[in-house]
A and B are shown apart, each in its own frame.
Chain A
Amino acid sequence: MANQQLNSGNPRVDIEYRRKKNAEEMRYQLVSFALMIFLTLIAFSAVYIKGFTAWFTVPFIILLAVVQVIFQLYYFMHMSHKGHEAPSLFLYSGVLVGAVTILAFTTIIWW
């Protein structure tokens, strides 16, 4: 992956390789940005065009949000890189506790 040190023994080659790796990663990030904008546009249009029922729109836009957040986490926040085992553990533990909280508040609590 792009964040790994490469040692070919020739510093010139190493720098050239790293520069290319960084540029390549930047391209991936631009692609994920384009996809994120695209997903946002779809979500807003799904609400703007009033033809769909809430039963379809709500799960659909939540799914779009989840996909967009995965792009944000794995590309913008580099979770796809090596050495992110502990961050994954921390984040997913948080997600687990958060999901249980939301489930409880939306199902077994009422006013």
Chain B
Amino acid sequence: MHADEKFTYETWPAAPEKSTLESKNKFLGFWFFLGGETVLFASLFATYLALKDKVPSTTHHLAKDLFELPLTFVATMLLLTSSLTSVYAMYHMKNFAFKKMMVWLGLTALLGAGFLGLEVYEFTLYVHEGHTFTSSAFGSAFYTLVGFHGGHVAFGLLWCLTLMIRNSKRGLDLYNAPKFYVFSLYWHFIDVVWVFIFTVVYLMGMVG
């Protein structure tokens, strides 16, 4: 099967994300990248745990003074739901339903943008309360970890929109199906990281 071959619903392969040599390599390479990302985020988590609540004086806010349950909860629901919408997008990709896939990808991008907006709002709140990147070791570790994740969401958002615009007239083929699939893997991985952020940073921060 070739990357520029035309397909119909009947001839579309069962595993379009792994049907050409290029896409097999892409799949493997992307998982290798995710292994590296795991180490990257683990080191940021380790740094955060070591520096949590390490502030120079008692006038600085600690984790339990800063975090609010409702805001984190809404952000979590947005990102978790966007994980499901990208699952739906891949379901339609496997069924060769290009338009439906695009709709679900659009929803995914919308939810991701909502999450990012909330994070910007949250960071602004903290900065106004005197919790900044340079105010304490705790602040540096917090913004590096959560900001790196937010940066990944922003990158994923641009990735998703670029794929959608770039392929809007092309339809599905074995050239772009692996690209959509790899994006969905990335998006799920962002959600995996967020599960640990809301648990380790926010929930554990509120416990004390």
Contact = CB atoms under 8 A, between A and B. Distances in A.
Interface of A: 2-6, 11, 15, 18-19, 22, 25-26, 29-30, 33, 36-37, 40, 43-44, 46-48, 54, 57-58, 61-62, 64-65, 68-69, 72-73, 76-77, 83, 86-87, 90-91, 93-95, 97-99, 101-102, 104-106, 109-111
Given A57-B207, A97-B42, A101-B42, A77 B9 contact: no
Given A61-B204, A77-B188, A22 B42 contact: no
Contacts of B185: 77
B203 A61 contact: yes
A100 to B, nearest CB: 9
B50 A5 contact: no
Q: Dominant SS at the B interface?
A: helix
A3 B36 contact: no
Given A29-B84, A65-B200, A98-B42, 5 more contacts: A58-B204, A65-B195, A90-B31, A98-B46, A109-B50
Nearest to A6: B14
Nearest to B204: A58
B125 interface: no
Given A4-B14, A93-B35, A44 B73 contact: yes
Given A94-B42, A97-B42, A72 B14 contact: no
Given A91-B31, A98-B43, A72 B192 contact: yes
Given A69-B192, A87-B31, A99-B42, A94 B36 contact: yes
